[in-house]
Amino acid sequence: GQERFRTITSSYYRGAHGIIVVYDVTDQESFNNVKQWLQEIDRYASENVNKLLVGNKCDLTTKKVVDYTTAKEFADNLGIPFLETSAKSATNVEQAFMTMAAEIKKRMGPGATAGAAEKSNVKIQSKPVNTSSGGCC
């Protein structure tokens, strides 16, 4: 929900098939800003764009202030999939992208559009990630 990003993001929404909104589970204000980000998406993105809500830093259990149930109910009320992740430990990070890809495929796959007579060539597979190779930082 950082203001400095608001001005540059509207151009990124156009043409997007999916948008992942990430908040920090250790920061209540970060979660409170999710509603504003979703309004931005509704304003600038395609009407049927797929959305995914992600609570990051789930590895910091002692610092967690946004409860899983609270965020899950919020997402369910909006019809948006929800996951908690940890970028640090790679928990559910791949699952978040797989969820988004599956949702987009479901929306755009056979039977979803007028040109749906063609067979879908998109295959979503999960492959192990080598977490031992250092990061960029």
Mean pLDDT of 35-51: 92
Residue 94 above 90 pLDDT? Answer: yes
Helix, strand, coil tally for the chain in percent (to 5): 40, 15, 45
Here the CATH number for the domain that contains residue 78 is 3.40.50.300
Q: Look at residue 38 and tell me if it is in a domain.
A: yes
For the chain, what is the domain count?
Answer: 1
This prediction's pTM: 0.77
CA distance between the termini of the chain: 23
Residue 115 has a pLDDT of 45
Residue range 48-65, pLDDT digits in tens: 999 999 999 999 999 999
* Average pLDDT, rounded, for the chain: 84
Question: 15 lies in a domain?
Answer: yes
Residue that wins the pLDDT comparison between 33 and 122: 33
In a domain, 86, yes or no: yes
- pLDDT confidence of 14, banded at 50, 70, 90? confident
When pLDDT is averaged across residues 12-40 and rounded to a whole number, the result is 93
- For residue 32, being part of any structural domain is answered with yes
Residues 6+ away with beta carbon under 8 Å from 49? 13, 16, 17, 18, 19, 41
Residue 98: inside a domain: yes
Asked if the structure places residue 64 within a domain, the reply is yes
pLDDT recorded at residue 61 = 96
- Is residue 8 in a domain? yes
Give the pLDDT score at 132: 57
Q: Which domain holds residue 73?
A: 3-105
Mean pLDDT for 26-49 is: 93
